[in-house]
């Protein structure tokens, strides 16, 4: 039976602290004790979630919050709240590595818009957080800076690619973190670590300052201890950004306000395809309990079909790798990061730099994507995958004609063991079987803790919402969370 | 008539080398067979897509095209075309592996 004594921190608790400076110092002390890799001499649990600490920046911001509080000024919605940033987003003063050796030591010259917005709301940014290299992975084992441990079960993975972001919230190192999700990289680790993770609709949150992986899929979103905190974070992050032309000018909802509305009368779509072979029976039982709970609150359960679900993983791995092979061509040793020494020609320098700088999974995906886009294979792989992507998206648009949200399991199994799937890429990819379809369709989604297995491993329930209807999704998420807390 | 879609019989070592060349990657002798094995495993899984008839389905490149959103024909999504401060050149150059402060320096491109 897994049991660790980490305690999560909520945004309300963080804001209730008398001094933002003391709170930040307390969290740095906790990180120093419990997060550092055991190999580096720390005696704690060696979670390895933080890659770099931004002490000067955090303490300057905390001092500003404390001064504003002392002067009786209005404080922002995240005033003094300690937050961590996945290391694929840029933050001046701290290296941005994307978990890769090819960007080791790279100091970005500007802040990501998400970082700017959090600080404007008063957040104290503690540092940069570990992740799979270039956000490619489902276990955080692809980081060049070592794997992250799941704070709920130290011999298990935290999920990925935003494994460090989920772990940092689960361990209470930060009240909230930013992650990114291309095929499940926020929601799957949230489920594995027992925290809330939100994938906003494509175009809802700016990606300016995000190191791109697959641009038609990449999204930025929050991890938090509860649903209300996720709504607070999303409220701060959402909106049109002149620096990111893919952000939408659709009006931003009142996410926090929406949580006050009861859920009775809402139609909950339940896709049969998400309850098939391969689903862990304990997870199935937990999701069925959550659905019964929603029914008891006056929701209607509507069976829906997402009939192309089985094709989501192969579709995703063609499209995401094709886009990645293009995006990652910029890492060539010319402008930033690592450059291989003493190459005689430019072309040799490109190749050696990339050979030394990229890890095996990144190389695998670059090769796969390049193959899928190469002459003779483009129609068979890339165009075909884009067509199936349209079918997968139509599935959702049709399902949402008869329901308001779709609810199902977030992952087929609870967190697996470190090292368990590292030698089998296809088995690793299948860990994302319930998350990739929402990524391809651009809809919003979230994972909410929904009990534990008998062994004590967290279970996540997935809620998917219509494009730009995060408000309804969050309402249902909070209803499940409330039922869960009442059940103990 | 349905579109004919043919998948490769299997990725050979020569294919791996050709694709690595296209992708500016130089694989080690140990990496080549491993990548060949993995690409074949993944493409074997991808072959399932062949089961679906996608005749006449418009390829989806991005999410917006599936939503009935008004098309942005006048570039509303773009920011105004006006002069504004750019990123700091000194900070950009400071992160370069080799620079003279104004330009990025690289090995010779053309031999003379």
CA distance A296 to A316: 36
Q: What is the mean pLDDT of chain A?
A: 96
A358 vs B: CB within 8 A? yes
Q: Which of A244, A337, A347, A368 to mutate to test the interface with B (most CBs of B within 10 A)?
A: A368
pLDDT of residue A57: 98
Q: Which of A100, A138, A185, A435 does the annotation list as catalytic? A: A185
**Contact call for A386 and B48, based on CB within 8 A:** no
Helix (H, G, I), strand (E, B) or coil at B36: helix
pLDDT in tens, A186-226: 999 999 999 999 999 999 999 999 999 999 999 999 999 99
Instruction: Judge contact between A157 and A139, C-beta under 8 A.
Output: yes
* Residues of B in Cβ contact (< 8 Å) with A245: 77-79
> In degrees rounded to 5, what are phi and psi of residue B103?
-125, 155
* A185 included as an active-site residue: yes
| Residue in A closest to B88 by C-alpha | A109
* A54 included as an active-site residue: no
| Residue in A closest to B42 by C-alpha | A426
Q: b or e along A236-267 (b: 16 or more beta carbons within 10 Å of the residue's beta carbon)?
A: bbbbbbeebebbbebebbebbebbeeebeebe
Q: Which of A138, A161, A165, A447 does the annotation list as catalytic? A: A161
CA distances from A464 to A30, A198, A353 (A): 35, 10, 41
pTM for the full predicted model: 0.96
From A297-306, A326-335, B74-83, the region with the lowest mean pLDDT: B74-83
Q: Is a pLDDT exceeding 50 seen at residue A71? A: yes
Q: Which of B19, B21, B64, B82 to mutate to test the interface with A (most CBs of A within 10 A)?
A: B19
pLDDT of residue B4: 40
CB-defined contacts A:B, below 8 A: 180
> In degrees rounded to 5, what are phi and psi of residue A482?
-65, -45
pLDDT of residue B7: 46
Count H helices, E strands: chain B? 3, 0
Site of tokens 């500003």: A64
| Residue in B closest to A393 by C-alpha | B66
Q: Is a pLDDT exceeding 70 seen at residue A38? A: no
A202 vs B: CB within 8 A? yes
Superfamily classification of domain A11-306+395-487: Amidase signature (AS) domain (3.90.1300.10)
Give residue A278's region: left, alpha or beta (phi > 0; psi -120 to 50).
left
CA distance A256 to A234: 9
From A104-108, A269-273, A281-285, A359-363, the region with the lowest mean pLDDT: A104-108
Least CB–CB distance from B46: residue in A336, A381, A425: A381
Q: Is a pLDDT exceeding 90 seen at residue A259? A: yes
pLDDT band at A240 (very low <50, low <70, confident <90, very high): very high
CA distance A58 to A70: 18
* Residues of A in Cβ contact (< 8 Å) with B41: 424-426
Q: What one-character-per-residue DSSP string does A273-329 give?
A: GGGSTT--HHHHHHHHHHHHHHHHTTPEEEEE--TTGGGHHHHHHHHHHHHHHHHGG
* A86 included as an active-site residue: yes
| Residue in B closest to A110 by C-alpha | B87
Of A86, A63, A388, A66, give the one whose Cα is nearest residue A210. A86
Number of residues assigned to chain A: 488
**Contact call for B45 and A313, based on CB within 8 A:** yes
Which residue ranges of chain B lie beneath pLDDT 50?
A: 1-8
Q: Is a pLDDT exceeding 90 seen at residue A8? A: yes
pLDDT of residue B2: 37
pLDDT band at A423 (very low <50, low <70, confident <90, very high): confident
* Residues of B in Cβ contact (< 8 Å) with A107: 91, 94-95
Helix (H, G, I), strand (E, B) or coil at A127: strand
**Contact call for A245 and B19, based on CB within 8 A:** no
CA distance B106 to B97: 9
**Contact call for A216 and B104, based on CB within 8 A:** no
pLDDT of residue A421: 92
* Residues of B in Cβ contact (< 8 Å) with A385: 46, 49
**Contact call for B38 and A364, based on CB within 8 A:** yes
From chain A residues 266-325, the ones with a CB under 8 A of any chain B CB are 308, 310-311, 313-315, 317-318, 325
CA distance A403 to A305: 11
pLDDT of residue A420: 94
| Residue in B closest to A368 by C-alpha | B39
pLDDT in tens, B67-91: 877 777 777 777 788 898 888 899 8
Query: Where do the DSSP E strands lie in A90-190?
Result: 124-129, 176-181
**Contact call for B107 and A334, based on CB within 8 A:** no
A393 vs B: CB within 8 A? yes
pLDDT of residue A232: 98
Least CB–CB distance from B26: residue in A317, A352, A364: A352
Give the ranges where A43-99 is alpha helix by DSSP (H): 55-70
* Residues of A in Cβ contact (< 8 Å) with B92: 109, 335
pLDDT band at A295 (very low <50, low <70, confident <90, very high): very high
- Interval A142-170 mean pLDDT: 97
**Contact call for B66 and A441, based on CB within 8 A:** yes
pLDDT of residue B81: 84
CA distance A282 to A140: 24
Residues above pLDDT 90, as percent of chain A = 92
Write the DSSP symbol of residue A343: -
Instruction: Judge contact between B66 and B51, C-beta under 8 A.
Output: no
**Contact call for B59 and A387, based on CB within 8 A:** yes
A397 vs B: CB within 8 A? yes
Which contiguous run of DSSP H or E holds residue A231?
helix A227-237
Least CB–CB distance from A109: residue in B16, B48, B92: B92
Instruction: Judge contact between A261 and A475, C-beta under 8 A.
Output: yes
* Residues of A in Cβ contact (< 8 Å) with B59: 383, 386-387, 389-390
Q: How many Cα atoms occupy the beta-carbon half-sphere of A147 within 13 Å? A: 20
CA distance A432 to A65: 40
Give residue B86's region: left, alpha or beta (phi > 0; psi -120 to 50).
beta
Task: Report the complex ipTM.
Answer: 0.90
pLDDT of residue A476: 98
Distance from CA of B111 to the nearest CA of A (A): 9
Q: Is a pLDDT exceeding 60 seen at residue A479? A: yes
**Contact call for B60 and A390, based on CB within 8 A:** yes
Give residue A298's region: left, alpha or beta (phi > 0; psi -120 to 50).
left
Spell out the domains of chain B, with CATH numbers in brackets: 7-54 (1.10.20)
* Residues of A in Cβ contact (< 8 Å) with B49: 311, 314-315, 318, 384-385, 388
């Amino acid at each position: 039976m897994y049991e660790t004594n980490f305690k999560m921190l909520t945004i309300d608790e963080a804001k209730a602290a008398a001094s933002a400076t003391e709170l930040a110092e307390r969290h740095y002390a906790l990180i120093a004790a419990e997060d550092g890799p055991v190999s580096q001499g720390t005696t704690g649990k060696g979670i390895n979630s933080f890659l770099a600490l931004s002490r000067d920046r955090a303490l300057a911001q905390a001092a500003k919050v404390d001064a504003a509080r002392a002067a009786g000024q209005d404080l922002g919605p995240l005033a003094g709240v300690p937050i961590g940033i996945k290391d694929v987003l840029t933050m001046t003063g701290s290296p941005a590595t994307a978990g890769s050796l090819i960007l080791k030591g790279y100091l970005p010259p500007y802040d990501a818009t998400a970082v700017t917005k959090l600080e404007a709301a008063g957040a104290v940014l503690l540092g940069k957080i570990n992740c799979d290299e270039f956000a490619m992975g489902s276990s955080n084992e692809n980081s060049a800076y070592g794997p992250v441990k799941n704070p709920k079960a130290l011999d298990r993975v935290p999920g990925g690619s935003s494994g460090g972001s989920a772990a940092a919230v689960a361990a209470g190192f930060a009240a909230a973190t930013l992650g990114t999700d291309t095929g499940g990289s926020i929601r799957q680790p949230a489920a594995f670590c027992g925290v809330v993770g939100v994938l906003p609709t494509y175009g809802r949150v700016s990606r300016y300052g995000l190191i791109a992986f697959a641009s038609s899929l990449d999204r930025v979103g929050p991890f938090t201890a509860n649903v209300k905190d996720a709504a607070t974070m999303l409220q701060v992050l959402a909106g049109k950004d002149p620096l990111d032309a893919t952000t939408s000018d659709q009006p931003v909802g009142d996410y926090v306000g929406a949580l006050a509305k009861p859920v009775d009368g809402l139609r909950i779509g339940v896709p049969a395809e998400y309850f098939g072979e391969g689903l862990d029976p304990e997870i199935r039982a937990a999701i069925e309990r959550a659905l019964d709970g929603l029914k008891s609150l006056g929701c209607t359960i509507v069976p829906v079909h997402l009939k192309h679900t089985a094709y989501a993983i192969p579709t995703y791995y063609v499209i995401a790798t094709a886009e990645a092979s293009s995006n990652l061509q910029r890492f060539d040793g010319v402008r930033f990061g690592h450059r291989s020494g003493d190459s005689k020609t430019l072309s040799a320098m490109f190749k050696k730099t990339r050979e030394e700088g990229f890890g095996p999974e990144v190389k695998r995906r670059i090769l796969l994507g390049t193959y899928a886009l190469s002459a003779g294979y483009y129609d068979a792989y890339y165009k075909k995958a884009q067509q199936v992507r349209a079918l997968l998206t139509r599935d959702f648009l049709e399902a949402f004609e008869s329901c308001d949200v779709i609810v199902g399991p977030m992952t087929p199994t609870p967190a697996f063991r470190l090292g368990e799937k590292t030698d089998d890429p296809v088995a690793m990819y299948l860990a994302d079987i319930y998350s990739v379809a929402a990524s391809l369709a651009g809809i919003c989604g979230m994972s909410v803790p929904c009990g534990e297995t008998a062994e004590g491993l967290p279970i996540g329930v997935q809620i998917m919402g219509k494009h730009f209807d995060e408000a309804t999704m969050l309402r249902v998420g909070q209803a499940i969370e409330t039922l869960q807390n009442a059940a103990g | 008539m349905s579109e004919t879609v043919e998948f490769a019989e299997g990725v050979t070592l020569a294919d791996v080398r050709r694709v690595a060349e296209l992708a500016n990657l130089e694989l080690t002798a140990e990496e080549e067979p491993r990548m060949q094995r993995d690409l074949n495993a993944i493409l074997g899984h991808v072959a399932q897509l062949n089961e679906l008839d996608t005749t006449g389905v418009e390829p989806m490149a991005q999410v917006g095209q599936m939503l009935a959103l008004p098309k942005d024909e006048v570039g509303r999504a773009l920011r105004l075309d006006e002069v504004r401060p750019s990123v700091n050149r000194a900070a950009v150059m400071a992160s370069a592996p080799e620079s003279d402060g104004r330009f990025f320096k690289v090995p010779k491109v053309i031999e003379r």
